[in-house]
Amino acid sequence: MRTSKKWLALVVVNLVLVIAAGAAWAEELNFPVVTGRHWAQSSSEEKLAFVNGMVTIVELEKEAQGLAKPGAENPGLNDGWVSGLAGLRLEDIVGKLDAYYREHSKQADRPVVEVLWNEVAVPNMAKGR
- In this prediction, residue 70 carries a pLDDT of 52
Where the chain has pLDDT below 50, the residues are 1, 8, 11-12, 14-18
Provide the number of structural domains found in the chain: 1
- In this prediction, residue 81 carries a pLDDT of 86
- Rounded alpha-carbon distances, angstroms, from residue 51 to 28, 39, 74, 93: 24, 11, 25, 7
Residue span of the structural domain in which 112 resides: 2-126
Q: What angle do CA 14, 79, 87 make, to 5 degrees?
A: 120
Residues 6+ apart with CB under 8 A from 62: 70, 78, 82
- Is pTM beyond 0.75? Reply is no
- In this prediction, residue 1 carries a pLDDT of 45
- In this prediction, residue 38 carries a pLDDT of 94
- In this prediction, residue 93 carries a pLDDT of 96
